[in-house]
Structure formats: C-alpha cells, structure tokens
Chain A
Amino acid sequence: MALPEKQPVQKKFIDPAAVKKSISQRLVVNNVTKVVFLIGLLFGLVVLGILLFGVIRDGAAWLSLDFLQNAPSRRPDRAGIYPALMGSIFLMLLIIPMIFILGVGAAIYLEEYAKKGRMTSFIEVNISNLAGVPSIVFGLLGLTFFVRNMGFGSTLIAGALTLALMSLPVVIVSSQEAIRAVPQAMRHASLALGASKWQTTFKVVLPASLPGVITGIILAVSRAIGETAPLIMVGAAIFIARAPEGIFSEFTALPIQIYNWTSRPQADFQGLAAAGIIILMVILLTMNSLAIWIRNRFSKRY
C-alpha cells in the first residue's frame, strides 16, 4: 500500500487551472450569447404579442357574420368588409396562376435551358435586385402600364397584374433554388433512359422541386395581399358597395379598407380596422400554414 507515494510525478500535458480558466471564459461567452439571442427572439415576440393583443382587444367585439357580409358604411355598427374581402380573395386567385406560370417558367428556363454565362448571371442579379424594389414603385409601373397604356383602368386585372409583377422576383428566385436542389443524378438518370429534355424537366425536375416552388409562391402571395401602396397607386377604390363581378370590375382590398378606417376620426372605426386586421391575419396564417403543410408533406424525398 505504499505504492502511491512512489509514483513518479507525471508531466502535466493539460494544466487543469488553465483549462478551468479557459472553459469558464468560454462558458461566460456561451451564456452571454445565449442571452443576447434570446433577447433577439423575445424582442420580436413581445412586440408581436403586444400588437396581437391590442388588435384582438380592439377588434374582437366588432367581428360578426354581418361584418363579413356588409359593405362599408358611415355607421360603424353597420359597416362590413365584404367587398374588400372578396377583392382580396379575387386578387389572390388571379395572382397565383400568373406567378406560377410566369415565375416557374422563368426559373425553369434560367436553371435548365439558359447557357450559364455573363448574360444569364446579369439577368439573375437583376431579378434579385427587383425583389428589393419598394412596392410603391411597382404601383407606379402598374398605373402607367396596365391602367393607362393598356387601358385596363383601375380594375381588378390591373391590380392583380401589378401585384403579380411585384411578387415575381421572389417566386423566380425561390423556384430557382428549389430546382437547383434537385440532384443532377435524377436528371442524368432520366436522360439516360431516353427521356427528352422537356420530359425530364416536366416529369422529374418539376415534381421534385414542387414543394419548394409552392412554398415560395404562397409566401409571395401572402405578402402581395398584405400590400396597400401599389393598389392605391393603381387607383383601387375605397368605397365600393359590391364585390367585384369580373376581372374588369373596380375593386378594393382588405389592406386599403383597413388603412381607410384607421384614418377616420371616430374611435369606432379604429375598432373596425382592428377587426379587419384580424380577418387579414386569419387569411395570412391560413396561407402560411398551408405552405408549411405542403413543405412537410412533399419534401425530403431525394
């Protein structure tokens, strides 16, 4: 039992004190960053929570079936959001096919067909830049081109085309990402089996990238139907007693109606605006949940 004392002094390869010091430093940094990031998260959440609380507190009392079915009115208790709600839904139904065909088409061309060169990357840079252009600029474009030059007037189709143009860059970029994520091996396999380029694109690449493409489209549409500025530029009406009847009808949309109500002097209209915000929020949340569901349902198969 005397052996332990005879043990030679081991050379210290690791100095516990130094390690401890260094580890405690790292732990401090670790904790500090954790707190910073948590604050970052909480800041957004708290602000969102306050906003939601305010909106629901002000608006919940105004929500009713009548609110969904009535036209706007000078009397807050009779005022409803029907034409605006319909306007927004019609806009959505017009925008989705437009941006699907144009956006995905452009993305497929850029990824599958276009020769990678200076010209293509120039176009791609420009598309990415377009995604950052303020929406009101698209409104101006819509006013000059669709409303005036093409002679559509301030109609649903002019509004939808304007919003579609605004959403296109985002859709093209996200579709490109999705198409790029399809493994080359899939294309090669398809081509090796004798499929043509078009067959490969349509039957292999597009289905494989569809979840990403659709997620991008839904997010772009969610943003588009929350826009006020371009629609006001295009000349969307604020008072309109009826829902649009066709693509050449005058129209209004939820954000415009909300904007109008918030600027009225009577306090009751602020409540109506809050109720309108709740409706818009429900639509947006539904769209976003749909995007998440589609992504989870159809992704990660390759």
Chain B
Amino acid sequence: MSWMKKTALITTVASIAVVGAACGNDKGGSSSSSDLSGKIAIDGSSTVFPIMEAVGEEYSIEQPDVDVTVGVSGTGGGFKRFVVGETDLSNASREIKEEEAAEAEKNSIEYTKLALAYDGLTVAISKENTWVKEMTLDQLEKIWLDPNVKTWKDVDSSYPAEPIKFFSPGKDSGTFDFFSEKVLEKKDMRKDVQLSEDDNVLVKGVEGTKGAIGYFGYAYYAENKDKLKEVPLSAEGKNAVDPTPETIQDLSYPLSREIYTYVNNKSLKDKKQVADFVKFTNENAGDLSEEVGYIKMPQDRYDENTKAIEDAMK
C-alpha cells in the first residue's frame, strides 16, 4: 500500500474518532447549588416510566451531580433485579408477588412500597361498535376466558354476530397481571388473544377492527378518544361507571389501580441521594403524573408515603 493511500486511510479512521470525541465534549457541567452526588438506579414497569422520567428530569435540574437512570425491564423484570439488590428503586404497575417477596427476603433486601398515582385500566372497543353500551365485570371475565365466545352475539343475544377480536398487553406486563387478577380471577386467558408489549399497537388494533375489544392504561385511551370508544364497567350490583379522572381517583371505577415504586430500605438509609430523590419523588409525583396522563392521588396518600419513608429510614 502506497504511503499516500495509507495516510488517507489512517486519516479516515482518525477523523471518525475525532468527530466522536468532539461530540463527546460535555455541554459544560454547571453545578453550583448541588451538594449531592452519586448514582440512583431505577428499573421496572414501562407504565410507571413516564412518571419516573418526569421526576428524574426535574430532579436532575435540582441536583445535577446525581446520576438518575431509569430502565424499563417491565414490572417483573424490574423486581428480578431489585430483589438481588441491583437497583435502588423498582417501578411496578402491580404489587410485589409472593415469590418475588420471598426472593427479596432470602437476599435480606428490605423494601418500602410507595404508591405514586392512579391509573384506570380502560376497556376499549372500536368506534364502529354501536351495540355495546356497558359491560359487567362478569361479562368481561366470561368473554376473555371462554373460547366458545366467537361473536358479540354470544355475549348478548341482542348484539350482532360480529366476530370478536381480543387485544391484550403482553404477559410480562403488570397491566396483564392486574387484569388477570381483577377480572379473570387468575384463570388462564383464552388463547386467541393478540398480545403486544406496545400499547400503541393495541390501540391501532382496536381502532381498526370493528368487533375488537382490548384494554390498556387510561393514558392510551385519553390520547386516542377520537379513535376509540371506552366501555363503562359495572362491578357486581353497581351501576356502570365511565373511566374519567374523577371516577378513577375516587375508586368508583372498578378497574382503578395504583401504580407504585418500591424502594430498597438499605439504599434509603445508606445513600443520601436516594433518600433525597425518594422524598422529591413523593412531593412531585402527583403533579408530574397528571402531566404524563395519570391521575393524582389524594394528598393524604402522599402523606402516608412520607411517613413510610421516615419509618424505613429509622
């Protein structure tokens, strides 16, 4: 290889490196009012992620030297890392399961559960579905379990014989677990359900299929009100309730649920930045959750959290 060509080649390779290095220059680490530093590792539910992203964003303005990282391994995946002590906080769209709690105990990980906000699991149907006005939880359970329910006529004889298509979040999601527990009483869901980890796919599926039924977090319904129809739900012996911020907050909507973050008590005690962050989260989660599509809890719930944090730090 001639000298010139070699030089050209080296220049090329070097210029890639230089461009990378130049871009790598920090945008100027301005940190004056901050006194805390260190890392905070958070992982878990993708449902809770938008809230934690918002909290992390605000917190990094307050304490720019603290590195907050939020991952989305899912509620179950997050707990897997949490119970071995890899993370400081674990976001969850359901409560910790017995197996997971047992694992945590085995590794002597103590934790505190903090409720952050409410979400209303919304059951949605297509805009073209003109026949369903409301449903009972029992009806929902029946159609999501019984493989013999093929058309809407099987649900109620006054409905047309439009085939039903089912859309559900994937089995690793806390949303699936919640639905399975609350509606299906932990029985196995029918097999012909289209599962997707991406809630926008579910929205698209329900939107485009006349006989579709699906469920997802309230935020996905709220953003797509013009494309979907929600189904008012009634628990046994009660009137059907529409999912709205009010009904979700006062828990009159039957599929109202809390979403949580679990804090490792040891991190809370030993790492100043974690304690500070958790308090910051508790103070701001309500307002920030509204901004990203969830529903604020009443103030006394956040006060309960404050007390739980103080107890854990003793």
Chain A residues in the interface with B (C-beta under 8 A): 69, 71-75, 82, 85-86, 89-90, 92-93, 96, 153-154, 207-208, 210, 214, 232, 235-243, 245, 249-250, 260, 262-267, 270, 290, 294, 297-298
Given known A-B contacts A154-B71, A250-B69, A266-B223, A238 and B20 have beta carbons under 8 A apart: no
B17 touches A239 (CB 8 A): no
Shortest Cβ distance from residue A53 to the other chain B in the assembled complex, whole angstroms: 19
Q: Determine whether B138 belongs to the interface, using a CB cutoff of 8 Å to chain A.
A: no
Q: List the A side residues contacting B52 at CB < 8 Å.
A: 239
A239 touches B49 (CB 8 A): yes
Residues of B within 8 Å of A, CB-based: how many? 51
Q: List the B side residues contacting A69 at CB < 8 Å.
A: 27
Q: Determine whether B128 belongs to the interface, using a CB cutoff of 8 Å to chain A.
A: no
Choose one: B53, B67, B71; the contact of A235 (CB below 8 Å): B71
Q: List the A side residues contacting B203 at CB < 8 Å.
A: 265
State which residues 46-73 of B face A: CB under 8 Å. 46, 49-50, 52-54, 56-57, 60, 64, 67-73
A74 touches B71 (CB 8 A): no
Given known A-B contacts A262-B200, A263-B199, A240 and B9 have beta carbons under 8 A apart: no
Q: Determine whether B132 belongs to the interface, using a CB cutoff of 8 Å to chain A.
A: no
Given known A-B contacts A265-B219, A297-B8, A71 and B73 have beta carbons under 8 A apart: no
- Tell which of B150-158, B183-191, B229-237, B286-294 binds the partner: B286-294
Shortest Cβ distance from residue B173 to the other chain A in the assembled complex, whole angstroms: 11
Q: Determine whether B222 belongs to the interface, using a CB cutoff of 8 Å to chain A.
A: yes
A241 touches B56 (CB 8 A): yes
Q: Mark B8-23, 1 if CB is under 8 A from A, else 0.
A: 1100100011001101
A238 touches B70 (CB 8 A): yes
Q: List the B side residues contacting A266 at CB < 8 Å.
A: 223, 293
Of all chain B residues, which has the CB nearest A287? B16
Q: List the A side residues contacting B198 at CB < 8 Å.
A: 262-263
B70 touches A207 (CB 8 A): no
Q: Kindly state the separation between the CA atoms of A182 and B256 in the bound complex, as whole angstroms.
A: 69
Q: List the A side residues contacting B64 at CB < 8 Å.
A: 241
Q: List the A side residues contacting B21 at CB < 8 Å.
A: 93
Q: Give 5 A-B contacts (CB < 8 Å), ordered by A residue.
A: A72-B53, A154-B41, A235-B81, A238-B70, A267-B223
Choose one: A89, A154, A210, A241; the contact of B24 (CB below 8 Å): A89
B67 touches A242 (CB 8 A): yes
Q: Mark B213-234, 1 if CB is under 8 A from A, else 0.
A: 0000101101110000000000
Shortest Cβ distance from residue A235 to the other chain B in the assembled complex, whole angstroms: 6
Q: List the B side residues contacting A75 at CB < 8 Å.
A: 291
Shortest Cβ distance from residue A157 to the other chain B in the assembled complex, whole angstroms: 15
Shortest Cβ distance from residue B292 to the other chain A in the assembled complex, whole angstroms: 5
Choose one: A86, A210, A235, A249; the contact of B1 (CB below 8 Å): A210
Q: Kindly state the separation between the CA atoms of A267 and B203 in the bound complex, as whole angstroms.
A: 12
A263 touches B46 (CB 8 A): yes
Q: Kindly state the separation between the CA atoms of A238 and B69 in the bound complex, as whole angstroms.
A: 7
Shortest Cβ distance from residue B43 to the other chain A in the assembled complex, whole angstroms: 7
Shortest Cβ distance from residue B36 to the other chain A in the assembled complex, whole angstroms: 14
Choose one: B26, B50, B223, B224; the contact of A243 (CB below 8 Å): B26
Q: List the A side residues contacting B291 at CB < 8 Å.
A: 74-75
Of all chain A residues, which has the CB nearest B69? A237
B293 touches A239 (CB 8 A): no
Q: List the B side residues contacting A236 at CB < 8 Å.
A: 71
Q: Kindly state the separation between the CA atoms of A260 and B292 in the bound complex, as whole angstroms.
A: 14
Shortest Cβ distance from residue A210 to the other chain B in the assembled complex, whole angstroms: 7
Q: Determine whether B39 belongs to the interface, using a CB cutoff of 8 Å to chain A.
A: yes
Q: List the B side residues contacting A210 at CB < 8 Å.
A: 1, 9
Choose among B53, B197, B198 the residue with the greatest number of A CB atoms under 10 Å from its CB: B53
Q: Kindly state the separation between the CA atoms of A234 and B262 in the bound complex, as whole angstroms.
A: 21
B5 touches A297 (CB 8 A): yes
Q: Kindly state the separation between the CA atoms of A154 and B41 in the bound complex, as whole angstroms.
A: 10
Q: List the A side residues contacting B73 at CB < 8 Å.
A: 232, 235
Shortest Cβ distance from residue B73 to the other chain A in the assembled complex, whole angstroms: 7
Q: List the B side residues contacting A73 at CB < 8 Å.
A: 53, 57
Q: Kindly state the separation between the CA atoms of A89 and B20 in the bound complex, as whole angstroms.
A: 6
Of all chain B residues, which has the CB nearest A268? B223
Since A92-B20, A154-B41, A263-B197 are in contact, a sample of 15 more A-B pairs with Cβ atoms closer than 8 Å, ordered by chain A residue number, is: A71-B60, A85-B23, A89-B23, A154-B69, A207-B6, A237-B71, A239-B49, A239-B68, A240-B68, A242-B26, A243-B26, A245-B26, A250-B69, A265-B220, A266-B293
A265 touches B23 (CB 8 A): no
Q: List the A side residues contacting B41 at CB < 8 Å.
A: 154, 250
Q: Kindly state the separation between the CA atoms of A237 and B42 in the bound complex, as whole angstroms.
A: 8
Of all chain B residues, which has the CB nearest A250? B69
Q: List the A side residues contacting B27 at CB < 8 Å.
A: 69, 82
Choose one: A239, A262, A298; the contact of B56 (CB below 8 Å): A239
Q: Kindly state the separation between the CA atoms of A75 and B61 in the bound complex, as whole angstroms.
A: 15
Q: List the A side residues contacting B54 at CB < 8 Å.
A: 74
B53 touches A93 (CB 8 A): no
Given known A-B contacts A74-B291, A263-B46, A294 and B12 have beta carbons under 8 A apart: yes
Q: Enumerate the 10 nearest inter-chain pairs by beta-carbon distance, A residue then B residue, closest first.
A: A237-B69, A239-B70, A74-B54, A241-B60, A265-B223, A207-B1, A239-B53, A250-B69, A265-B220, A265-B219
A265 touches B57 (CB 8 A): no
Q: Kindly state the separation between the CA atoms of A241 and B224 in the bound complex, as whole angstroms.
A: 29
Q: List the B side residues contacting A250 at CB < 8 Å.
A: 39, 41, 67, 69
Q: Kindly state the separation between the CA atoms of A207 and B5 in the bound complex, as whole angstroms.
A: 11
Q: Kindly state the separation between the CA atoms of A298 and B39 in the bound complex, as whole angstroms.
A: 47
Q: Kindly state the separation between the CA atoms of A290 and B16 in the bound complex, as whole angstroms.
A: 10
